[in-house]
Structure 1
Amino acid sequence: MHTIFGKQYNDGTPLGEYETRLEGEQFYRIHKTSLVHLKYVDSIFPWTGNGFALRVRGEDTVLPISRDQVRELRRRLSI
């Protein structure tokens, strides 16, 4: 199961393939199971201990961000 843009997909395609296809399209891999479109990131916030998560605009779902991805995500969002 993959989460892309806040929607879940289970089609058997490796997430890395989606990541490659969407390169240059403002998508960013925030976790081993999740890609998000940077245009729709609503907020990044502390979550569970020293981790972080985000919300996608218009969705209630909380998506965890891998600790090693937070710095680059903030850079790309200029925050």
Structure 2
Amino acid sequence: MIAHRSSFIVHRLLLAAMVLGVLLPFVPLAIWSFAFRWGWPSLLPASWSGRAWRYIASPESQVLPALRNSLVLALL
């Protein structure tokens, strides 16, 4: 019974490590999407901006037609 419990704990720890290994690299990417300037030794950006997200939401970016085309092609 002790071997089963330790195996369960090891399994859970490995699963948590894999989930962290997959999701953790996306944290800097999410921060970078709101950063205006982010120099090397700084842990966090010096200034923040929603400029990239405003551009994506604007009609000039053509994101919505691209998403529509992708969905149509995926359904074919």
TM-score after normalising by structure 1? 0.18
Larger Rg: 2
In terms of fraction of residues, the more helix-rich structure is: 2
Query: With structure 2 as the length reference, what TM-score do the two structures score?
Result: 0.18
